[in-house]
Structure 1
Amino acid sequence: MAEIKAPVFPESVADGTIVEWHVTEGQQVNRDDLLAEIETDKVVLEVVAPDNGVVTKIVKQVDDTVLSDELIAEFEAGATGSADAPAADKEDTAAPEEAPKQAGYGDLPGRPPAPHVEEKDHKDQSPAVRKAAKESGVDPKDVEGSGRGGRVTKTDMASPTLKADSSIKTDSGQPVAESVGERSEKRVPMTRLRKRVAERLLSASQDTAMLTTFNEVNMKPLMDLRAQYKDRFEKRHGVRLGFMSLFVRAATEALKRFPAVNASLDGDDIVYHGYYDIGVAVSSDRGLVVPVLRDTDRMSMADVESRIRELGGLAQKGKLGLEDMTGGTFTISNGGVFGSLMSTPILNPPQTAILGMHAINDRPMAVNGKVEILPMMYLALSYDHRMIDGKEAVQFLVTIKELVEDPSLLLLDL
């Protein structure tokens, strides 16, 4: 008999939560088959089968908290069992709980009861999916599944994409939110990742002397450069040439000139980092994550583009590892991909600064006494005023502006 244990968490992660079992007791699995998913404050970790065999006992159920390297199941290698055991044969694998009510909201007079979904109709779904179906009133059979073999997962139920021929019904046979004039509600528990992001953002706004300075950059030189070389770049390196790689290069050079922006605070100590690890904020279905590019001063633009693409793909699939997001000395956030014209990005502690990129819009600008229409982008630098003086912050942002507007300065090291 072998033990299935939770992964070994790093020191920054105290525990995790079982969010889904993909197998049941007695089910036969093959080596490296996905058994369970554990959500931590930072990432979702997968637990896979160590060998061909049978999961004989599930020790930790859905929503249970687990510690690093803690026993979660028992496994018998080489044994045979049911190859297609249903995902929820046992009623005690995930006892559904009533969704918590918020004070002053859950008891509003006249609030209609949540639609009920019969549990007996979904014995083939995982415990987490069954629980989500009960809470939301959404029938898993109407939801497009992203799991193995089209199976519906807990994530699918949190943000359901309905099948083309689906029709969500209540017990009375009426659509939940389809009828004219009806107002619906859906209550879903906040994930650990979302909770942790909220805690860190709130802490950053309360525990730092955060200030933001703005500037604007003429993107025409960079856009002309990209248009001229993008085909040759992609043919040579196998990856598309974007704007982020040049901003990473420009930020790295600016960090070299202003070490305080690359430093962090540790209690009453200032830690000056002799390396450049730049985090790139990425929005995923599970929340905001910040994978880190290591040693950007040693990376070519092709390396940066390739790594950003790789990390972005992993983020969307929920496959980022803890090693992909730990550390980081500076962060770049690009709200422009969503159309943001201007914002004040929030610090990512213990870092002391973050650069915000925004949408590129044509605007009339005064150039040598004449009005020209130019593609302009607002840049924002939020920084901790306890560590960085306003003069340094402004000069840092102006340096990035100058390097982006004249990329040849990077080549000539000017």
Structure 2
Amino acid sequence: MTTEVRVPTLGESVTEATVATWFKKPGDSVAVDEMLCELETDKVTVEVPSPASGKLADIVAAEGETVGVDALLATIAEAGEAGAETVEERPSQKAKDTKEAKDEPAKSAGGGSTDVMVPTLGESVTEATVSTWFKAVGDTVAQDEMLCELETDKVSVEVPSPAAGVLAEITAAEGTTVSASAKLGVISGSGASSAPKVQEEGANGEAYAAPAPGASNRGDVENAPAAKKAMAEAGISADKVTGSGRDGRIMKEDVQKAIASASAAPAASSAPTAPRAPVPADDAAREERVKMTRLRQTIARRLKDAQNTAAILTTYNEVDMTEVMALRNEYKDLFEKKHGVRLGFMSFFTKACCHALREVPEVNAEIDGTDIVYKNFVHMGIAAGTPQGLVVPVIRDADSMSFAEIEKAINEKGKRARDGKLSMAEMQGGTFTISNGGVYGSLMSSPILNPPQSGILGMHKIQDRPMAINGKVEIRPMMYLALSYDHRIVDGKGAVTFLVRVKEALEDPRRLLMDL
């Protein structure tokens, strides 16, 4: 007995969809309501659950196909009756099936072999891309030693070794997109790889050469494959990098630190330059095409969605930072001695925003359909630039935290963001965001909303400017502030009031203590 899987109702005025992803392949067991595939329309993404339990007999509509409402997608057979053929299988699925067939002997050959599987990726994340392998086939690994790094559309996920032994096989090469339950490699516990694979197959079936040991600047110590790749991309030699790994082994993080140090170093004094080489006639020969990371794709999509959905408007003001700077200079040493963390400007701005949000709650709200959802708490997002792209870790219940607690949270979240160790949970649920472009030298900008939030405050560079104070011209440290807000929910009066309250709190920090 078979059950048909058909395209569900797609919504008003939507008549067709595109099959985006199949999460199951023919022959897989499925449970009732287990997600089979995902459809994309011009408005929403639709998940298709299994209407019955059994086995996926065949796939009728492959990935990329356009289907109408009620079109047949696949058939479900009772357990034991799944057909061996499919009407049409995806090329990538065929490659995967071929790969898995090859993997079976390796899985059962050595009694001490252990599969390396994709770890839990988080709620609503169904696939990831293998970004970097830190080990090559034949390398000895310790239990919990990092083997590779996966990249999802939200965070990077490190994959530790489930056992000690030798990396006998890599089944998912760099650049391969894998599902949440896919196998990445095999660890042999025999102490040596019985038949190390020199080549693996990529997602498209092409041969993939496992990373070969490279030359090291420390004798016979082999640098991490990811580090060698990063050094090649950055154009720096190994002798310019200090290794922090075992026996001086250079790791990926060491290369990132070396690149950051080089960019922060003062520019060398000008000197006569050599004549430039003739420009090639073919511009294409001088171009480099690099695939966008999943994180960068998500950033691009979310920011464009914000522009398309929200009525974004920006209002500006300026704040005299004299009092905040004086207070910080007076107490920073005592603050650090007592709390073990430096007193920065971000805690003042976070406190000032929390204070202003209580008076103008619509800036801390969001639109859900035809409802306005007011938040009686502040989960403050702090935008942070990382080598992988912009991320916004969230400090939960910032409105109930002290200056020291805020500074500690910002410091800890910032470090995790730079190291690529933020979890998805740490970047979800924010109600308002602060973005500090001033650390990069920005004097004025219009920040874009972080949906579904309705407000974001842009901080900028502190710059001495002549100001009229009590009829006299004085030089004051001034900062421009910018509040971008969703005009669908926040009126101009509310936006201006919010920014004025932030300005007042910063120009007279005692107001924060008095709750004024």
TM (norm. structure 2) is 0.65
Q: Deviations over 1:377-401 (max 9, x none)?
A: 1100000111111111111111111
The one-letter amino acid of 2:180's match is S
Equivalent runs, 1:12-411 vs 2, <5 Å: 12-76=124-188, 78-81=189-192, 90-92=198-200, 144=241, 148=245, 149-151=248-250, 153=252, 180-181=276-277, 184-411=286-513
Q: Residues of 1 paired with 2:240 and 2:294: CA distance?
A: 24
Change (3 A) 1:147 1:180: farther
The one-letter amino acid of 2:276's match is V
Change (3 A) 1:203 1:326: same
Q: Residues of 1 paired with 2:337 and 2:234: CA distance?
A: 50
The one-letter amino acid of 2:136's match is T
2:218 matched residue in structure 1: none
| CA shift for structure 1 position 191 | 1.6
The one-letter amino acid of 1:8's match is T
Q: Residues of 2 paired with 1:69 and 1:81: CA distance?
A: 27
Q: Residues of 1 paired with 2:253 and 2:407: CA distance?
A: 32
| CA shift for structure 1 position 278 | 0.5
1:104 matched residue in structure 2: none
Q: In 2, are the aligned partners of 1:20 and 1:154 still within 8 Å (CA)?
A: no
Q: In 2, are the aligned partners of 1:262 and 1:329 still within 8 Å (CA)?
A: yes
Q: In 2, are the aligned partners of 1:62 and 1:128 still within 8 Å (CA)?
A: no
| CA shift for structure 1 position 226 | 0.8
Q: In 1, are the aligned partners of 2:306 and 2:450 still within 8 Å (CA)?
A: yes
Q: Residues of 1 paired with 2:164 and 2:357: CA distance?
A: 51
Query: The residue matched to 2:199 in structure 1 has which SS?
Result: coil
The one-letter amino acid of 2:436's match is N
Counting aligned pairs with the same residue, the percent is 48
Query: The residue matched to 1:92 in structure 2 has which SS?
Result: strand
* Higher deviation after alignment, 363-372 or 180-189: 180-189
Change (3 A) 1:214 1:14: farther
When Rg is computed on C-alpha atoms for both structures, the one with the higher figure is 2
Q: In 1, are the aligned partners of 2:241 and 2:254 still within 8 Å (CA)?
A: no
1:105 matched residue in structure 2: none
Q: In 1, are the aligned partners of 2:170 and 2:200 still within 8 Å (CA)?
A: no
The one-letter amino acid of 1:92's match is E
**Structure 1 unmatched runs, 5+:** 99-118, 164-177
Change (3 A) 1:71 1:280: same
**Structure 2 unmatched runs, 5+:** 1-112, 216-221, 263-273, 280-285
| CA shift for structure 1 position 268 | 2.8
Change (3 A) 1:66 1:411: same
Change (3 A) 1:284 1:4: same
Q: Deviations over 1:280-304 (max 9, x none)?
A: 1111111111111111022111111
Q: In 1, are the aligned partners of 2:223 and 2:249 still within 8 Å (CA)?
A: no
Q: Deviations over 1:98-128 (max 9, x none)?
A: 9xxxxxxxxxxxxxxxxxxxx9895978787
Q: Residues of 1 paired with 2:308 and 2:339: CA distance?
A: 44
Q: Residues of 2 paired with 1:137 and 1:232: CA distance?
A: 42
Q: In 2, are the aligned partners of 1:357 and 1:378 still within 8 Å (CA)?
A: yes
Q: In 1, are the aligned partners of 2:324 and 2:507 still within 8 Å (CA)?
A: yes
Q: Residues of 2 paired with 1:61 and 1:221: CA distance?
A: 56
Q: Deviations over 1:185-218 (max 9, x none)?
A: 4443322212211221222122211000001111
Q: Residues of 2 paired with 1:141 and 1:302: CA distance?
A: 40
Q: In 2, are the aligned partners of 1:345 and 1:380 still within 8 Å (CA)?
A: yes
Change (3 A) 1:126 1:372: closer
The one-letter amino acid of 1:90's match is V
Q: Residues of 1 paired with 2:169 and 2:259: CA distance?
A: 31
User: Structure 1 or 2: larger strand share?
Assistant: 2
Matched positions, count: 374
TM (norm. structure 1) is 0.80
Q: In 2, are the aligned partners of 1:147 and 1:153 still within 8 Å (CA)?
A: no
